Amino acid sequence: MNFRPLHDRVLVRRVTADEKSAGGIIIPDTAKEKPQEGEIVSVGTGTVSDKGEVRPLDVKAGDRILFGKWSGTEVKLNGEDLLIMKESDIMGVIG
């Protein structure tokens, strides 16, 4: 299934969290926090201004981003857990 977000929304794949702590202790799934870092899979076309002009998003597919802990809506597409969020939920691009 192909999916393209609309307007100012982006589709994000979370970056997997470390399985071990810095000291070598294995962290069980129940104790892990969901990572707040991800990779953009696809982006919408942008926002439409009052004049009818489309402003493209500042991010693109492949960008690594940081986002808020409670940002986005979790969805499952093609058996993969992804997030759909607005561009305004993104705090910044890494690298």
Specify if 20 maps to a domain.
Answer: no
Question: One digit per residue, pLDDT tens: the chain, 95 residues?
Answer: 688 899 999 999 998 765 555 566 776 666 556 668 999 999 999 988 899 898 999 999 999 999 988 889 999 998 899 999 999 999 999 98
- Domain membership of residue 64 as a residue range: 7-14+33-91
Query: What's the distance, CA 30 to chain centroid?
Result: 22
Specify if 83 maps to a domain.
Answer: yes
Specify if 27 maps to a domain.
Answer: no
Taking the whole predicted model, whether its pTM rises above 0.85 is answered as no
**Strand ranges (E), the chain:** 9-14, 37-43, 47-48, 54-55, 64-67, 73-77, 80-86, 90-94
Report the CATH number at residue 59. 2.30.33.40
Query: What's the distance, CA 2 to chain centroid?
Result: 17
Specify if 1 maps to a domain.
Answer: no
Quote the CA–CA distance of 5 and 42 in Å, as a whole number: 7
CA distances from 85 to 5, 8, 51 (A): 9, 8, 25
Specify if 22 maps to a domain.
Answer: no
Domain count, the chain: 1
Q: What are phi and psi of 40, to 5 degrees?
A: -75, 130
